[in-house]
Structure 1
């Protein structure tokens, strides 16, 4: 169709959208109503809501949109917690894992004063439930009295002015036993005062699992757990079709100006068969990704409507593709004028079509008839004789013997497309900038640019690990991301900024944890981790991962004994010593000074117990004023600065620098601002001076 190949195209992630700017399906009215239902929870009773819909209907996206709608609008503010039970599937520790994550959440600074005391109680409850009777008995029976612990927790939550909102997604991916455990959490174990749970699942899958596991009516059981279930509003077929057609015009810009004959072929294919498969956003993404992988390098060599049709079959009907590839002579070419072989052709095509799912059979048949006139003739359609061969050749149709093979030169099935995607990512991962660009190729639908938020882009890698990767692939990807995680996390993110911003390094860590979970043997996980940290893992990536693993001890536990703090420390201590040695070497050979996020590394080093060494290094490294301001900005950025006084961690800075020298230095830079001082640097100095003076005034007042 087009003499010039279109610009390089990028895959669309089968990942939830993060905010309303990416919503192409007009779901915000529903989101606002759902958010209002959450706000409307009155009293202190625990409330359970559910968002139900089939796989691929956009439940995860809707949860993200609801969370965004609630952000900053609820009074008093909600404490929002996301718990993905699928992360813990197969560990046998679903209930304790949730309680531990809840305990970590209530110790966050904004709620620590009112809810922080719940952390110890939640740990006690997790221990009592994880392995009842197996732990060494304490002197005080109250420490293992589940009812007493729950009463204490209820009192803490009831007296808080903050309601806790817990989103639980992907419940339908769990085993039947795990699904029932999760329902036990929200109605019997963690139904604490002032809590709201929002569960997301495929209703039919969960109902069937309950029935199979418990031998009861799944619908009735679920009704006793969930007070309000809201079904996902499936987007109208016209909305999905318009979205796909808009993307087709991006894939081939000349699609906007097709001649009348090509438009007719497109309409017949689309309305006759392709539209049948566009039932969910996930199905649309699947088709578009296969087309995006195959068409760009074939533009100018194939007929666009035919390429769309064959990509649809690659996405949704392996039987059709197998028949076409294996018996091409029954599809390609013209009909015999005298009808020779018609009966055999008819029997052949009726036979393979009979193996296509009944639900899809008519649509697959319509697509194949549109692509191949010989098939249409065999199934009682019109005859197209030898006189059409030249026209098909000129149009580069798939039914032309000369062009048939071109359509399968890059003919990838949906699963092959995912494998191709993984290989491309790993091939580019040794070049940090190229890998960052590769990740940015997995942007949201029609986002308007190729550099969406790094978090969303890493989401695609996480989804691939969870859904597609083999243990070996997960191992390779883990090592590669460990090696380049520091650069990836510092890549420029042109995505929108939010009040509750997640640092890209944490997205990197979550992908790494997904990779470890994909490696089945816990001892091998530990070996892979140790080898990577001792080799060439990024200092910040390794430090953040070890910090996270301190809270996810189940990843390294072999399951033979109940986990204890001592056991967890013992497993990570060896790796932590390796990292400590590497950071010390980096502080001496200049590597740490050249790190673009050296203050984050220093903070972790200090957290791991090296307070004196980290302080001495910072003071020596920041003798230069420009370096000093750079360090302040890094610390402010790491604290999530948004222009207020709170984000700059003054206590940390006072420990790292001399207080009086820091104040004198900052005031001098304010009076005589150097040319290199940026507006953001000036604001940071202003914040620092104000906080230091405020701290001094408070100290004087207390004397």
Structure 2
């Protein structure tokens, strides 16, 4: 069975292939890959790839790795995500374990199987001290890891029993901090037990294992490429642990570290009273790269392509799409929210879903531009969206140019201002422009311009959010709660060519006690009655006029009968030729 993506969801995952590049970054990725593949040195190389959130760091990394795999003598690639292990507090153990497994799995040569084994034993030595002491004092495991990994102390010990003595000494210091608590006793017991096992299982000292590891790495014809992404998600303690781990092993030959993170975030986390985060990173990272800046034109081209797919998914939505209105909303505020592909895909996923909710067979039950704009506010300005949903009267009330509306104007003005001010500061002006375009009904408040009732009726037929009868569905994301859908009015229009069927429809609506409300809203559609249907349309209303309720259900409102007579009168007014108008009426009277 074929699965069809009806809702157009995007998982917002980085691209993995060079051919999927939409932003012209494939060449940069290839060059990065070539530089890594051609490097060979006696010490480790630490490369950083900097970029803001959503700027495409992971996509560039994926393309670079894909290109590397296609080359001869490509590096052995090991992707390690410390963020995935941070919650379990097993970063160091997982780091060496992942390297060992990757080398052993990806390479079948005897030399690399041996290298995997050495990495495993080396990692076991380092992770034991860290794991056992982490609950006592984080500075001690970091210090222990750094000291042991450099081999400066382990070189003085010829067997594991002497190394145990060192750890026991460190443990004694820790015990002073723990004050012989139950937790402290448990940790000390675990420490002793684990190192006794280590002494039985391992014959070589840590320095000997380290030397063996360096020798094995130096013999490799291709480097190990260790990739770490999302470092900016780590806590300050975890970041220091990772960078200490890298720094302590920079003398490993044929090893390249590729680190991906947002520079300002990591620098801020690493800054303390002793040094700035910038200086901290400079001591570790040898080659920093900043990813190429995204061209907004390219991002917006992707946005337009996706929006076209959404609009073209329904014929009526495409028909309703007003290019002039779209250009106004896009340039005045909409485009400011799309400066990276992540925002584009995030927005498109929710828009696709909500767009489908308004498909009612052949009718699209919303204005597509209004839906796009309001979805933009929902995704990127949730506070604005929430306040707007509670401000229906302020945004949909049409005021006449007659009379004194000053008190109402002041009240609504405060509501509108509050909604606009709840936007993010950098996009506040964009929100104001979007709302002004969506709600021409507020122009009498902000610019003293008054629209006519005729305009308000047009907005009703266009399903605009600015009309009080359509406002709610843009927030409920449903038209089912409306008394009448657009298709109800379209169907009524289609019946105007059949006198008997139209009469039956009118009487059926009256029997449901909804005719008065239906006709009051159909008035906005009355100008769409085809002229060739005038006779049957007019006769059906006159036929039904005597059989329906002549009393209004609303105080000072029009009755259903009055609405029928109003519609009949407007129909006759639209017949310009007086003789034709007279003939229609005289024919009806003669037949009756």
TM-score, normalising length from structure 1? 0.54
Residues 531-680 of structure 1 mapped to structure 2, 5 A cutoff: none
- Residue correspondence of structure 1 range 23-34 to structure 2 within 5 A: 23-34=21-32
2:570 corresponds to: none
From 202, 208, 211, the equivalent of 2:271 is 211
Match of 1:57 in 2: 55
Between the aligned partners of 2:21 and 2:70, the Cα distance in structure 1 is 20
How far apart are the structure 2 equivalents of 1:9 and 1:246? 16
Give me the whole-angstrom Cα distance separating, in 2, the residues matched to 1:191 and 1:105. Answer: 21
Residue 220 in 1 paired to residue 279 in 2?
A: yes
Label 1:111 to 1:197 Cα distance change in 2 as closer, same or farther (>3 A): farther
Whether the 8 Å CA contact 2:391–2:415 is kept in 1: the answer is no
Structure 1 Cα separation of the partners of residues 218 and 99 of structure 2: 16
Q: 2-side partners of 1:257 and 1:318: how far apart?
A: 25
Match of 1:42 in 2: 40
Q: 1:261 to 1:96 in 2, by over 3 A?
A: closer
- Quickly say closer, same or farther: Cα 1:384–1:233, change in 2 above 3 A: farther
How far did 1:261 drift? 8.4
1:159 aligns with 2:156: no
* Residue 366 of structure 1: aligned partner: 433
Task: Name the residue aligned to 2:120.
Answer: 123
Partner of 1:272: 332
Report deviation, 1:395: 1.0
Partner of 1:334: 398
Contact 1:334–1:373 under 8 Å retained in 2: no
For the pair 1:198 / 2:262, whether they are aligned, the reply is no
Where 2:271 maps in the other structure, the secondary structure is helix
Secondary structure of 2:96's aligned partner? helix
**Match of residue 664 from structure 1:** none
Gaps of 5+ in 2: 130-166, 168-190, 479-592
1:180 corresponds to 2:240: yes
Paired residues for 1:87-102 under 5 Å: 87-102=84-99
Superimposed CA distance per residue, residues 131-184 of structure 1 (whole angstroms, 9 cap, x where no aligned partner): 324222354797574333222211111111121111111111111111111112
Larger RCO: Structure 1 or Structure 2 (Cα < 8 Å, ≥ 6 residues apart)? 2
- Render the CA deviation track for 1:450-498: whole Å, top value 9, x for unaligned: xxxxxxxxxxxxxxxxxxxxxxxxxxxxxxxxxxxxxxxxxxxxxxxxx
- 1:8-58 Cα offsets, whole Å, 9 max, x none, are 332011111121232222211221222122123232321111111111111
Match of 1:316 among 380, 390, 414: 380
* Number of aligned positions between the proteins: 404
TM-score where L is the length of structure 2: 0.64
Q: CA offsets per residue over residues 316-352 of structure 1, 9 Å max, x none?
A: 0111111121121111242342454222222222223
Partner of 2:445: 378
Partner of 1:233 in structure 2? 292
Residue number among 299, 303, 311 corresponding to 1:244 in the alignment: 303
Contact 2:45 2:250 in 1 (8 A): no
- 1:102-501 matches, cutoff 5 A: 102-108=99-105, 110-132=107-129, 133=167, 134=191, 135-137=194-196, 138-139=198-199, 145-189=205-249, 192-212=252-272, 215-253=274-312, 262-299=322-359, 300-338=364-402, 339-340=405-406, 341-380=408-447, 382-410=449-477
In structure 1, how many angstroms separate the alpha carbons of the residues matched to 2:80 and 2:20? 23
Instruction: Determine helix, strand or coil for the equivalent of 1:51.
Output: strand
Query: 1:78, 1:111 → 2: CA distance?
Result: 15
SS in 1 for 2:55: coil
Alpha-carbon deviations, 1:486-526, whole Å to 9, x = none? xxxxxxxxxxxxxxxxxxxxxxxxxxxxxxxxxxxxxxxxx
Q: Where in structure 1 are there 5+ consecutive unaligned residues?
A: 1-5, 412-703
User: Any conservation in 1 of the 2:37–2:74 contact (CA below 8 Å)?
Assistant: no
Matched with 2:487 is: none
Q: 2:80 aligns with which of 79, 83, 89?
A: 83
Residue of structure 1 in register with 2:182 after alignment: none
Q: Distance in 2 between matches of 1:387 and 1:268?
A: 22
Q: Take 2:439 and 2:58, find their aligned partners in 1: how far apart are those partners?
A: 40
Q: RMSD over aligned Cα, in angstroms?
A: 2.6
Q: Secondary structure at the match of 2:396?
A: coil
Question: 2: CA distance between counterparts of 1:8 and 1:127?
Answer: 50
CA contact (8 A) 1:44 1:193 kept: yes
1:362: Cα distance to partner? 1.1
User: Which has the larger Rg?
Assistant: 2
Are the structure 2 counterparts of residues 141 and 397 from structure 1 closer, same or farther at C-alpha, using a change threshold of 3 Å? closer
| Structure 2 CA distance for aligned equivalents of residues 255 and 151 of structure 1 | 71
Shift of residue 217 of structure 1?
A: 0.9
- For the residues of structure 2 that align with 1:154 and 1:198, how far apart are their CA atoms? 20
Structure 1 pair 261–80 and aligned structure 2 pair: CA distance change class (3 A): closer
Partner of 1:13: 11
CA distance in 2, matches of 1:187, 1:37: 21
- The 1-side partners of 2:44 and 2:292 are apart by 26
User: What does the per-residue CA deviation read over 1:79-119, in whole Å, with 9 as the maximum and x for residues that have no partner?
Assistant: 11111111101222211210011011221353542222223
